[in-house]
Amino acid sequence: MNVSYAENAVDYEIPITTQDTQYALALPNGVKAIEIQCRDTTDIRCSFTAGKVAVPASPIQTIKGGGRYVKEHLYLNAHTLYVAAGTGSKVVEVRVWL
């Protein structure tokens, strides 16, 4: 297990143009921490499993409007984050620490 500290932050934006549609972000290798939030106060749905967020089906994580998901002490390789929202014209902000 890699116990080194995160040194670099990388920011991403995932535009959600259509409601209840899955959008994907391929994460870089070596993610040690992740933060996810909607730019405004809209609820968003997230999963690391394809096909779960457009029409909500487990396993998903709902991030309530104005909330933020933060997970530390990770070491992710070859993961894709899938997101969706109940309304379009939104932006999901993602920050990963490498």
Over the stretch 38-68, which tens digit does the pLDDT of each residue have? 999 999 999 999 999 999 999 999 999 999 9
Q: What mean pLDDT is reported for the chain?
A: 94
Q: Give the fold, CATH level 3, of 16-97.
A: Jelly Rolls (2.60.120)
The answer to whether the beta carbons of residues 81 and 36 sit under 8 Å apart is yes
Neighbours of 97 (CB within 10 A): 17
Q: pLDDT band for position 4 (50/70/90)?
A: low
Cα 74 to Cα 23, 56, 71: the distances in Å are 22, 25, 7
The answer to whether the beta carbons of residues 47 and 53 sit under 8 Å apart is yes
Residue 1 has pLDDT above 70, yes or no: no
Interior/surface letters 16-30, b for 16+ CB within 10 angstroms, e for the rest = beeeeebbebebeeb
Neighbours of 93 (CB within 10 A): 14
